[in-house]
Structure 1
């Protein structure tokens, strides 16, 4: 609404109604021309670290929702079956978390509608449906998960590790932990963070520092051994006495190492070489109890046969999982 009014032959004034009460304005003069600019103040969501309460399309159940923790990218993906982009345009998601940078909505035919939550640091999360809304809780990993470990597949990228013919240590390490062990740990109640999620070389110091970023309870690195003689064989587990960290229930690196070497050598039928105190970076410079497994020797014919067998690889993965689960029973986190 605009109205021109006069109070005398030499005085006039305009009455201009603002589009809405919360609109602000500025007047700019350029010679005899005046420009009036209106601006709608954007509503800034309140960031108070309360759970995200996301309005859902009608009929969506918990079984229609899945998630992926892409922690290496600091991203949480929540997938809802179907294409609901239009719904979320009409019902935008309000961010209530200081450590959440933004939330983006997209769609793919294979996964459905994706709610991509970008975080400033690695965060744990859980979700449920309350009163028809998707409630997403985001916090430090140890505030979300009762049990947290790191599995570190040794070597990677341009570093193949030990080799025997075309057999590369880095590939065995990755297959045992990131493929076979992952099957056991999924939906087990034990949260696993993997230092590498593909064939990438990660600095040793970064692997060790990862434990503090994710509030891990302990750290397990997997390797395969080699020697100048084919007679060397067996399983050993390394720890560092310099690393004196222990869990709230008293689990130490040496206890972790001793339990693993006994269980692995027994299940695989390898020679038990015991535990060895040595200052490898990933065990020495760690903030939590940490061990490095040397599963067997690539340079020994019998050990090599075991290391390249999918049956034995799966057995090693299952033993690592069973050992971790039993240690959490014996040394609870009390979270």
Structure 2
């Protein structure tokens, strides 16, 4: 089978022809039908992601497909079941083996593409805003990188949770995507973010996927007792947070990494996915997928992420 692999840490990913894997006890083999791309895939190639498996490994963090084979001891899953798996890696291939406990059965209404697009982007935003930041109705939520994979879901979920949502993104086209997702106020990247947000009354919760100067500006526009979620660093710079400013304004900076919960509190992830799948069934959320590409065009998909030319998700269909 074909797999998009990294052979050694820091090396550029490339296709490899590898044997179809056999599931070990407690695992399932999936005929992969869709895999969502994430900024983490780029970081893994650079060797800078916080959770990199030993090389060689196949890229692709979130997948959906059909159970093809079941390992010894697996209960509740059978050949032919449609499932989603937040795998952490292994998704950019024709087949993959994954721990059965990470698999969630798909509702009949949900496409493989939607299932691959929902897990990390929506799961990150839902758990960050609800479980970690405790966003309340009527609060003001500032989302930076608001047209990106996770930023767009933060806009959508923030609005569902009753917040006033300020969306910050680059260019009219991306801001229009954020508006369609529910943003109340739009701020272009060319504007002075700090000044504009303060004119609007400040932010109670900041969901930042960019880092660098954007985070610094958002930090300075946060209201007393505000909460800041540094979700990602698509701008390339990890911001340094002045602790004395936290004291003066009684601010809270909240760390969040969805993959960590799979290790120490997996039920939080499962509960979040159950909520999101229910919202999808009700038509309350709908993943925005700007590009759907076949497996042999995965490098093109990675370039779209790197150059920030996609909106929402890029999904690969092996």
TM-score (ref. length: structure 2): 0.29
Structure showing greater relative contact order (alpha-carbon pairs closer than 8 Å, 6 or more residues apart): 2
The structure that has the greater radius of gyration is: 1
